[in-house]
């Protein structure tokens, strides 16, 4: 397996609270620290994406997956850490100027709300042509051919190319978003909840299309979603995030069929399954801990976790390896023991 993208100790902080003079003065007067409190949106995240792989990224709102995605697609700068594409270190170039970088075409993204991600004043043709014009310098006849090729690869008939987004159905808009992303033949395609806004019947078609495109264009996928059933079907590996950290990762089927981390267990248990009876429910109490200046010695899941032992608030668990599974929990061994007991 060759590595395509390698994230090493990536962190992203945002200042919380006021940065202006008044807020600083207020802080100083109340005796608090002068330093800005920070929201740890992404905290020390490391993982790789291999060529030809589909990696899933799941987590709920506030877990930092959107921030992580924007960091690795270079729409946002990281506060710390490295993003290596092949041999090249991308974090060195600021996000502000990355748009004109020679490697810009290698990482592309399909957005969740296709309607929002296409300029309402652009036709479908304009939308798909934009990256070709900017990144491949295509013009005139060559441009038209490439746009039509991308459109037909995504099952979009040429007659729809002159339409505006509001004249297209949800499924058609999704195809335009995909066509735009693949037109420049990226190595890595990040899919941010691409089917969330679609009906179930359209979703099937789009997922099949994505599968097919991946083979045809030899791409790797990072599939970000909160819909675990879809991730289970589409992804080879999955990463589970909670409050800025990766809490579990491993082969997709295995993680969903036998989750080890208590949060993953709660997540999987909460997914509605056919046939009524869900897994034994782990009800998560209360609200997530504050992401502002979290105590580095306390597990982020402490308090909400049904285990929440004294160890959990004195020592934050590191991501430990168990074969192909990585889990950040002091009590992960209990699951390993269980597995050995019950056989492979």
Partner 1 sequence: MTGSLALCVDRLSVEFRTRSGLVRALDNVTFSVRKGETIALVGESGSGKSVTAYAIMGILDPAGRVTSGQAMFDEIDLLSASPKQLAAIRGRRIAMIFQNPRSALNPIRPVGRQIADVLMRHRELPTRAARLQAIEMLRAVGITDPARRASAYPFELSGGMCQRVMIAIALAAKPSLLIADEPTTGLDVTTQAVIMDLIADLATELGMATIFITHDLALASQRAARIVVMHAGHVVENAPTTELFVQPRHPYTAELIAATPDSAANLDDLAAIAGSLPDLRRPDLPACRYLERCSRKTEQCAQTLPQAVLGPEHIVACWNPIPVQAPLKRAIGAP
Partner 2 sequence: MTDTTAVAPRESPLAQLLRHSRHVLAENPVTGFAFALFLLILLAALFGPQLAPYDPLASNTAQTLKPPNAQHWFGTDQLGRDVFSRVIVATRLDFFIAVASVALVFVMGGLAGVAAGFFGGWTDRIIGRIADTVMAFPLFVLAMGIVAALGNTVQNIVLATAIVNFPLYARIARAEANVRREAGFVEAARLSGNADWRILVGQILPNVFPILVVQMSLTMGYAILNAAGLSFIGLGVRPPTPEWGIMVAEGAAFMVAGQWWNAFFPGAALMLAVFCFNLLGDGLRDIVDPRRRT
Using CB under 8 A as the binding rule, the residues of this chain from 251 to 310 that contact partner 2 are none
The residue among 71 and 243 lying less far from partner 2, judged by its C-beta, is 71
Q: Judged by CB, which is closer to partner 2: 18, or 323?
A: 18
309 binds partner 1 (CB under 8 A): no
Stretch that binds partner 1, among 14-22, 101-109, 185-193, 275-283 (CB under 8 A): 275-283
Determine which residue in the list 120, 275, 276, 286 makes contact with partner 2, applying CB under 8 A.
120
Residues 6+ apart with CB under 8 A from 64: 12, 41, 42, 43, 45, 241, 243, 244, 245
Q: Does 27 bind partner 2 (CB under 8 A)?
A: no
* Residue 125 and residue 147 in contact, taking contact as beta carbons nearer than 8 Å: yes
Minimum CB–partner distance for residue 135 and partner 1 (Å): 30
Tokens of 54: 């589909």
What are the φ/ψ torsions at residue 135 (nearest 5 degrees)?
-100, -25
User: Within positions 180 to 209, which residues make up the interface with partner 2, using CB under 8 A?
Assistant: 180-181, 205
Question: Could you write out the three-class secondary structure of the chain?
Answer: CCEEEEEEEEEEEEECCCCCHHHHHHHHHCCCCCCCCEEEEEEEEEEEEECCCEEEEECCCCCCHHHHHHHHCCCCCCCEEEEEECCEEHHHCCHHHHCCCCCHHHEEEECCCHHHHCCCCCCHHHHHHHHHHHHCCCCHHHHHHHHHHHHHHCCCCHHHHHCCHHHCCHHHHHHHHHHHHHCCCCCEEEEECCCCCCCHHHHHHHHHHHHHHHHHHCCEEEEECCCHHHHHHHCCEEEEEECCEEEEEEEHHHHHHCCCCHHHHHHHHHCCCCCCCCCCCCCCCCCCCCCECCCCCCCCCCCCCCCCCHHHHCCCCCCEEECCEEECCCCCHHHHHHHHHHCC
Window 120-159: contact mask with partner 1 (x via CB under 8 A): ----------------------------------------
Q: Is 273 in the site for partner 1 (CB under 8 A)?
A: yes
166 contacts partner 1 (rule: CB under 8 A): no
Q: Is 162 in the site for partner 2 (CB under 8 A)?
A: yes
Among 11, 54, 67, 117, binds partner 2 (CB under 8 A): 117
- Return the one option of partner 2, partner 1, none that residue 218 interacts with (CB less than 5 to 8 A, by type): none
d(CA 102, CA 136): 10
99 binds partner 1 (CB under 8 A): no
State which residue, 28 or 281, has the beta carbon closest to partner 1: 281
The answer to the question of residue 97 lying near partner 1 (CB under 8 A) is no
105 forms part of the interface with partner 2 (CB under 8 A)? yes
- Rounded to a whole number of angstroms, the minimum distance from the CB of residue 60 to partner 1 is 4
Question: Smaller CB distance to partner 2: residue 177 or 317?
Answer: 177
Contact call for residue 266 and partner 1 (CB under 8 A): yes
- Indicate which of partner 1, partner 2, none lies near residue 130 (CB less than 5 to 8 Å, by partner kind): partner 2
From 98-106, 141-149, 229-237, 264-272, give the range in contact with partner 2 by CB under 8 A: 98-106
Residue 193 φ/ψ, nearest 5 degrees: 45, 55
Q: How far is the CB of 61 from partner 1 (least distance, A)?
A: 6
Site for partner 2 contains 108 (CB under 8 A): yes
Q: Which residues bind partner 1 (CB under 8 A)?
A: 60-61, 169-170, 199-201, 203-205, 207-208, 211, 226-230, 232-234, 266-267, 269-276, 278, 281, 283-284, 286-287
């Amino acid at each position: 397996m060759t590595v395509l993208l390698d994230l090493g100790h990536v962190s992203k902080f945002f200042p919380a609270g006021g940065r202006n003079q008044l807020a600083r003065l207020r802080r100083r007067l109340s005796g608090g620290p002068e330093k800005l409190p920070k929201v740890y949106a992404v905290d020390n995240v490391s993982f790789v994406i291999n060529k030809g792989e589909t990696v899933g990224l799941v987590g709920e709102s506030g877990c930092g997956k959107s921030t992580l995605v924007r960091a690795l697609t270079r729409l946002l700068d990281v506060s710390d850490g490295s993003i290596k594409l092949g041999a090249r270190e991308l974090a060195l170039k600021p996000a502000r100027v990355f748009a004109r970088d020679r490697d810009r075409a290698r990482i592309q993204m399909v957005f969740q709300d296709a309607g929002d991600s296409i300029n309402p004043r652009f036709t479908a043709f304009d939308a798909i042509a934009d990256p070709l014009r900017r990144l491949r310098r295509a013009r005139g006849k060559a441009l038209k051919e490439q746009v039509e090729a991308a459109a037909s690869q995504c099952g979009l008939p040429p007659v729809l190319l002159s339409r505006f987004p509001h004249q297209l159905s949800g499924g058609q808009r999704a195809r335009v978003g995909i066509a735009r992303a693949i037109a420049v033949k990226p190595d890595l395609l990040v899919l941010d909840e691409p089917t969330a806004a679609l009906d179930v019947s359209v979703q099937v078609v789009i997922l099949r299309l994505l599968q097919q495109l991946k083979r045809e264009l030899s791409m790797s996928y990072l599939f970000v979603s909160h819909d675990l059933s879809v991730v289970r079907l589409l992804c080879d590996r999955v990463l589970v995030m909670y409050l800025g950290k990766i809490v579990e990762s491993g082969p997709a089927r295995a993680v969903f069929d036998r989750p080890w981390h208590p949060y993953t267990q709660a997540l999987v248990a909460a997914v509605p399954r056919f046939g009524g009876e869900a897994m034994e429910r782990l009800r998560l109490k209360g609200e997530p801990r504050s992401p502002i200046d979290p105590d580095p010695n306390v597990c982020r899941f402490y308090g909400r976790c049904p285990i929440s032992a004294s160890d959990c608030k004195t020592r934050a668990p590191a991501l430990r390896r168990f074969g192909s599974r990585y889990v950040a929990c002091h009590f992960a061994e209990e699951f390993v023991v269980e597995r050995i007991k019950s056989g492979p």
